[in-house]
Structure 1
Amino acid sequence: MKEFTPDKYLGHKINRISRSIDRYFDRKRCSKTECIPRSQGMMIGYIMDNQGQNIFQKDIEAKFHLSGATVTNMLKSLEKNGYIVRTPMENDARLKRIELTQKALDHENRVRENIMVIEEAMHEGFSKEEFNMMLGFLDRVIDNMEKLNK
């Protein structure tokens, strides 16, 4: 039987990288006064990436594959904590456009700065060519796993 040494398995290494990224974000994403759940942060990122478009609750439900009740609760929390405002549309007051406040924009900019710090750390010690090759290999691993899970 093959010796079980988890540190030699790709899945173990990917899991270690993922946990390390999570630990970094857990340290950096919370201010001394406030911490929003990662799922709400992802919503803020999605809305920021789609500024200039009307984003509604149904768009968030579809993007994140979440139920209406779940998204309603998350949006209520974001609104209560000053990250979003929901503005009724002129032609149909039942539709409420979701807009980010300056507080949310500041938060997302800090998150994106942290992403760049992580990316720079992961690139350290690799040439551009080596890193691009690794990304290609990882894309193939992702494709293989998606095939396995179909």
Structure 2
Amino acid sequence: MKQEERIAMRSIKRLSNGISREMCAAFGSGMFSGAQGRTLHFILATHQKEDLFQKDIEEEFGLRPPTASALLKELEQRGLIRKEPVPYDARRKKIVATEEALQYKDCVLSGLEKLEQKLTAGIPDEEMQVFFTVTDKMLKNLAQ
């Protein structure tokens, strides 16, 4: 396909599909869905650094509140997270990784790190910065 015939949406969708397939392979045997793995990775990476709330998950992954709520409910039902009240705001509940989730920490963190390395192999930092600049602009366009 010629460069001028390429459509951004198609390329992004193909990339998204490829990442999803790789994530399923990385977590194998149905351990986690791609969305669960990414979310658990984010929770485990921020574990003990700061309080984490549903709003943070929504912002990190560009999710709508019902989608984030359903995803967190799945993780909670699997015993990987729990929600705890915070003393400074009775309306808010922070997301906490359970001991069971911490058992998966190395697997999840290394699986996604390997995928990131595979995805960005051979791409210089300067090109990655252009990629991030362009995707940030696209996200901003969609938000308008």
TM-score, normalised with respect to structure 2: 0.63
Aligned pairs (5 A) from 1:1-150:
5=1, 9=6, 11=8, 15-30=13-28, 32=29, 34-52=30-48, 53-61=50-58, 63=60, 64-67=62-65, 69-90=66-87, 95-122=92-119, 124=121, 126=122, 131-142=124-135, 145=138
Structure with larger RCO (C-alpha < 8 A, sep 6+): 2
Cα deviation for residue 47 of structure 1 reads 2.4
Whole-angstrom distance in 2 between the partners of 1:60 and 1:143: 18
Amino acid at match of 1:112: L
Q: Which runs of 5+ in 1 are unaligned?
A: none
CA distance 1:39–1:18, shift in 2 (3 Å): closer
Cα deviation for residue 117 of structure 1 reads 2.4
Aligned length: 139
SS in structure 2 opposite 1:35? coil
Cα deviation for residue 101 of structure 1 reads 1.5
Cα deviation for residue 50 of structure 1 reads 2.8
Contact 1:48 1:100 in 2 (8 A): yes
TM-score, normalised with respect to structure 1: 0.61
Percent identity reads 26
Whole-angstrom distance in 2 between the partners of 1:97 and 1:27: 30
Cα deviation for residue 81 of structure 1 reads 0.8
Q: Which runs of 5+ in 2 are unaligned?
A: none
CA distance 1:103–1:135, shift in 2 (3 Å): same
RMSD between aligned residues? 3.7
